[in-house]
Amino acid sequence: MLKVAVVGLGWMGRVHLRNYTEMPDVEVVGVVDIDEAILKEVADQFGVKTFTSLDELLENELDAMSICVPTSLHHEVGLKVMDKSINAIIEKPLAVTSQEGEDLVAKAKEKGVALMVGHVERYNPAVSRVKELMGSDDVISIQIERVGPYPPRIQDVGVIKDLGAHDVDLIRFLTGSEFKSVYAVSSSTLGKHEDSALITAEMENGVLANITTNWVTPYKARNINVACESKYIKANLITQEVKEYSAFSSYDQSYSVREWPLMFREPVKAELTEFLTALREGTPVPITGEDGLEVLKTFDKIFECAC
């Protein structure tokens, strides 16, 4: 029986909590939030013990903590949790700056605890199928579109660190390579942070990448397009639909299309299951603090030119 807790009960924190309560051999010791109305709501819904103070919760015996507070608090809360020798999964991005990320990775090593970063899109079945279809084929380029309306709940970071974090990580994951060079432009029209960005990069293995992300589109879109030498792959991450196009034939001016049906899967459930499995088996977590740190270092390169 693993004893877990959740700090931060925004939308994602509640998803973590719900999944934990549905898992066998998991005991939710408690949850923390500063909003007492939210605490009453989750106490009524899930029957969990609530705290307004993280320090008070940390007095209990815990194996793992989901840290789902605003990004600006990841550093402070993550250090405090891991200093108690508690394993942690921190929602993406790992921290606001790469220096804060370095601190968190160092603390995990110092205390000998697992640190996982919640880059949940890796657990989208459509992403898994795209990676499978890419196989050992020579990949030419990856284009990702992640756009939608402005989210009032996000106040501490802009669209690059919120939405763009998913895709910086996905490009590393899909290509198996690090960013070699990055160019980006951004603009801000709705608030103090950037709300629209175009990011272009070359990976160390030669794959070209492009990310379009914004908070100025009236509808949500999450699409990945991968160009390979022998095929073209198109995925919708919302509907979890994937299509594979054969190479265009100049002989008969045609190509074939194959649709890959997928069984819908809740990505957060798969993510937390792998996190807890790694803790039980003493194996490395699938998305490490170092993975999250690489995303932050890529942000540094992006913001050098996207000002």
pLDDT in tens, 213-249: 999 999 999 999 999 998 999 999 999 999 999 877 7
**Mean of the per-residue pLDDT values of the chain:** 94
Please determine, for residue 271, whether its predicted confidence score (pLDDT) is greater than 70.
yes
Task: Identify the pLDDT of residue 41.
Answer: 96
Task: Identify the pLDDT of residue 306.
Answer: 65
Q: What is the average per-residue pLDDT within 261-282?
A: 92
Q: For 82-91, 148-157, 204-213, which range has the lowest pLDDT when averaged over its residues?
A: 148-157
CB 212 within 8 A of CB 200: no
Phi, psi of 50 (to 5 degrees): -115, 150
Please determine, looking at this structure, whether the domain spanning 2-119+268-286 carries the CATH number 3.40.50.720: yes
Instruction: Return the domain boundaries, the chain.
Output: 2-119+268-286, 125-264
User: Which contacts (CB < 8 Å, 24+ apart) does range 15-24 have?
Assistant: 15/268, 16/66, 16/68, 16/268, 16/272, 17/42, 17/46, 17/48, 17/66, 18/46, 19/266, 19/268, 19/269, 19/272, 20/66, 20/272, 21/46, 21/48, 22/269, 23/272, 23/273, 23/276
Half-sphere exposure of 284 (CA within 13 A, CB side): 7
Q: What is the average per-residue pLDDT within 178-193?
A: 91
Q: For 57-71, 182-196, 290-304, which range has the lowest pLDDT when averaged over its residues?
A: 182-196
Please determine, for residue 307, whether its predicted confidence score (pLDDT) is greater than 70.
no
Confidence grade of residue 121 (pLDDT, cut at 50, 70, 90) = very high
Task: Identify the pLDDT of residue 3.
Answer: 98
Please determine, for residue 152, whether its predicted confidence score (pLDDT) is greater than 90.
no
Task: Identify the pLDDT of residue 209.
Answer: 98
State CA 270 to chain mean position distance. Answer: 13
Kindly report, residue by residue over 81-98, the tens digit of the pLDDT: 999 999 999 999 999 999
Kindly report, residue by residue over 8-60, the tens digit of the pLDDT: 999 999 999 999 999 999 999 999 999 999 999 999 999 999 999 999 999 99
3-class state of residue 89 by DSSP: strand
Q: For 19-23, 141-145, 176-180, 265-269, which range has the lowest pLDDT when averaged over its residues?
A: 265-269
pTM beyond cutoff 0.85: yes
Q: What is the average per-residue pLDDT within 199-211?
A: 97
Kindly report, residue by residue over 123-142, the tens digit of the pLDDT: 999 999 999 999 877 899 99
Confidence grade of residue 260 (pLDDT, cut at 50, 70, 90) = confident
Task: Identify the pLDDT of residue 222.
Answer: 97
Please determine, looking at this structure, whether the domain spanning 125-264 carries the CATH number 3.40.50.720: no
